[in-house]
Amino acid sequence: MNSADGKRYIYEKSQLIEVICQLRYPPILTIEAKEPADFQDTVRAVFPRYVCQTEKSPGPQGGSVRNHTFLTEDGTYKLSMTKNFIALSTMRYTSWEDFAGMLDEPLAQFIRLYRPSYFERVGLRYLNGISRAKLDLGERRWNDLFQPQYLGPLDDDGLREEDVSRCSTEVEMKLDARSSLKLHAGPGIVNRAVRTANGVQTLRDPETRFIFDQDLFSAGNIKLPAVMETLETLHSHADRVFSEAITEVLHEALGPVEI
């Protein structure tokens, strides 16, 4: 995390729920037509578990798409591939360097085997769910933790938070000539998908958290050599947006460790 003071930190009490990197490309029908055995051979040492699911395609035309999923042994990282995108996600994010390192080799092998001409969209999503209970901030109001521009009426000390059933900020904006941001910020309930012996179950967190959901992306004709530089830029923007959104109270509660 690049903080507003110009220093880099990692947070010992990070509130990240999930981090996702998705790269979209023009449809590659080979991925839909047959099992990606050659690709699996290149990633199996790190992602030994494999699942294939047929999912409904988004949009009015419907249809279905095969989603090939490769997981690390402990399930903390998930690599997904369809005819339209390749994505890496984790619910145990440690650092950008670790995350980018997990993406580097699978992406290189994907490019070698499937030879996409370019990427249509390169995206990076950081989903935070700030828990006052877990950070020992139970008596603090949200306006002690976030800057006014992300709070709306919740910035009013005279307003009882428990009386507000819904209040959120939705932002879509350009960050630079090639980078854009879609941001959702506001209190909400987190639902978690947990894998058990009986399958995947959805657990509802009883605590209201402050959701800070950044979807950063670059769209257009993105050449292959520019992908990692594009991701580095998106990550830098994500750090800046988050560090400028939080107060010093929240920064300290997150347990910053300078690196």
pLDDT at position 54: 87
Burial 169-201 (b: 16+ CB within 10 A, else e): beeeeebeebbbbebebbbbebeeeeeeeeeee
pLDDT at position 200: 62
**Percentage of the chain modeled with pLDDT above 70:** 92
Distance CA 112, CA 110 (A): 5
pLDDT at position 194: 63
Tens-digit pLDDT profile for residues 164-217: 989 999 999 999 999 999 999 999 988 876 655 555 667 778 899 999 999 999
Residue 91 has pLDDT above 60, yes or no: yes
Q: What's the mean per-residue pLDDT of the chain?
A: 92
Residue 239 has a CB neighbour count (10 Å cut-off) of: 18
For the whole prediction, is pTM greater than 0.85? yes
Residue 4 has pLDDT above 70, yes or no: no
Q: What is the mean pLDDT of residues 113-126?
A: 97
Position with higher pLDDT, 4 vs 10? 10
Tens-digit pLDDT profile for residues 136-166: 998 899 999 999 999 999 999 999 999 998 9
Distance CA 158, CA 58 (A): 43
Residue 63 has pLDDT above 80, yes or no: no
Position with higher pLDDT, 165 vs 224? 224
Percent of the chain as helix, strand, coil, to the nearest 5: 30, 40, 30
Distance CA 257, CA 194 (A): 30
Position with higher pLDDT, 110 vs 2? 110
pLDDT at position 11: 96
pLDDT at position 174: 98
pLDDT at position 56: 75
Tallying the residues shown for the chain, one arrives at: 259
Residue 246 has a CB neighbour count (10 Å cut-off) of: 23
pLDDT at position 204: 78
Question: Comparing 22-31, 195-204, 222-231, which segment has the lowest mean pLDDT?
Answer: 195-204
Residue 64 has pLDDT above 60, yes or no: yes
Both structure tokens of 251: 């920064």
Position with higher pLDDT, 55 vs 86? 86
Residue 51 has pLDDT above 70, yes or no: yes
Residue 233 has a CB neighbour count (10 Å cut-off) of: 19
pLDDT at position 190: 86
pLDDT at position 55: 79
